[in-house]
Amino acid sequence: MIDLHTHSYFSDGTLSPSNLVKQAENLSMKAFAITDHDTTDGLDEGLRTAKGKNVIFIPGIELSVTHKPGELHILGLGLKNWEDNPVLKEINKNRKIRNLQIIDLMNKKGLGITYKDLRKQTKGTIGRPHFAAWMVSEGYVKNINEAFTQFLSWGKPFYIPRETISLQTAIEFIHSTGAYAIVAHPLNIPVNFSALLEKLDYWLSIGIDGIEVIHSGTKRNMTKRLLKFAEEKDCIITGGSDFHGKNKPAIKLGKTKNFGPILDRFLPEELIIQNNTPSKNVL
């Protein structure tokens, strides 16, 4: 079993990086990646905890990039260096501007939210999922999904867009860290399948290295069709659950939508080779 897409409490997951590594080890996973939204802050802890354990730790990240329609997320897998980076600083500056605007909007409607209410939920990136969790905890909505569908999604009262980076910037940033750029959960993009393949084809031509074919949100028949396309393109193929701990309780670590294991064959060879020659020294 492997899992190349997980979130820790450095973004909108609920577990620490150490806890995630321990769970991966308990499940006898061959390899496992932490891919927090727009931050590398959990990677040192993950790498340190995985040292000497029987699981390959793959440092990762998930970036949101400008795209219409829907959201386009790009995974960076196999980061070799993750020192302070201007691209991540810029993303998080824009996030903060947007988050403060949402707080203003909510307070104008009398909700009484503070930045601290959000800050205490995460050690790293703050995003809409934290607003959603706060609305649940205050009893404004029943669950996170309701918070999104009624208030936080595009066109809803508390939706404010944030400035995102371009796909090209994301690819360049990921490559600059020594990682591979992978299109995350492509089937979440709300276009028909043939339009999606055209998009993927184009993205592969401008520097995308691979496609996350296995994902807990993807049905088996669509996974098969996407796998066939990715094999024909001879690109990197990865698999991950998109585990978020208690924030998305229906998703299980290392598991597909039907709770089958994500198989070792979806661990690309490139990432194993790279892992054997880490360039970053961690105590």
* Least distance CB 276 / ligand AMP (angstroms): 32
Q: Is 186 in the site for ligand AMP (CB under 6 A)?
A: no
What residue 226 binds from ligand AMP, Fe ion, Zn ion, none (CB within 5 to 8 A, per partner kind)? none
The amino acid sitting at 208 is: I
* Least distance CB 136 / Zn ion (angstroms): 16
Q: Are 55 and 32 in contact (CB under 8 A)?
A: yes
What residue 107 binds from ligand AMP, Fe ion, Zn ion, none (CB within 5 to 8 A, per partner kind)? none
Q: Are 147 and 131 in contact (CB under 8 A)?
A: yes
Q: Is 144 in the site for ligand AMP (CB under 6 A)?
A: yes
- Site map (CB under 6 A) of ligand AMP, residues 97-136, x = contact: ------------------------------xxx-------
Cis peptide leading into residue 69 (ω within 30°): yes
What residue 145 binds from Zn ion, ligand AMP, Fe ion, none (CB within 5 to 8 A, per partner kind)? ligand AMP
Which residue from 12, 36, 209, 242 is in contact with Fe ion, where contact means CB under 5 A? 242
Reference 147, options 164, 160, 165, 133; nearest CA is 133
Q: Is 265 exposed, middle or buried (0-12, 13-18, 19+ CB in 10 A)?
A: exposed
**How many helices (H) and strands (E) are present in the chain, helices listed first?**
10, 7
Helices 86-108 and 128-137: crossing angle in degrees, nearest 10, is: 30
Residues binding Zn ion (CB under 5 A):
7, 12
Radius of gyration of the chain (CA): 18
Burial 200-229 (b: 16+ CB within 10 A, else e): beebbeeebbbbbbbbbebeeebbeebbeb
Query: Judging by DSSP bridges, how do beta strands 31-34 and 2-3 pair with one another?
Result: parallel
Which residue from 1, 4, 56, 73 is in contact with Fe ion, where contact means CB under 5 A? 73
Helices (H), 41-166: 43-50, 86-108, 115-119, 128-137, 144-147
Q: Which is nearer to Fe ion, 73 or 130 (CB)?
A: 73
Q: Is 64 in the site for ligand AMP (CB under 6 A)?
A: yes
Q: Which is nearer to ligand AMP, 49 or 164 (CB)?
A: 164
What residue 33 binds from Zn ion, Fe ion, ligand AMP, none (CB within 5 to 8 A, per partner kind)? none
Stretch that binds ligand AMP, among 23-31, 134-142, 143-151, 222-230 (CB under 6 A): 143-151
* Least distance CB 232 / Zn ion (angstroms): 30
Cα 51 to Cα 42: distance, rounded to the nearest angstrom: 15
* Least distance CB 36 / Zn ion (angstroms): 8
Stretch 35-54 residues interacting with ligand AMP (CB under 6 A): 37
**Residues in contact with ligand AMP by the rule CB under 6 A:** 37, 64, 127-129, 144-145, 148, 162
**Residues in contact with Fe ion by the rule CB under 5 A:** 62, 73, 184, 242
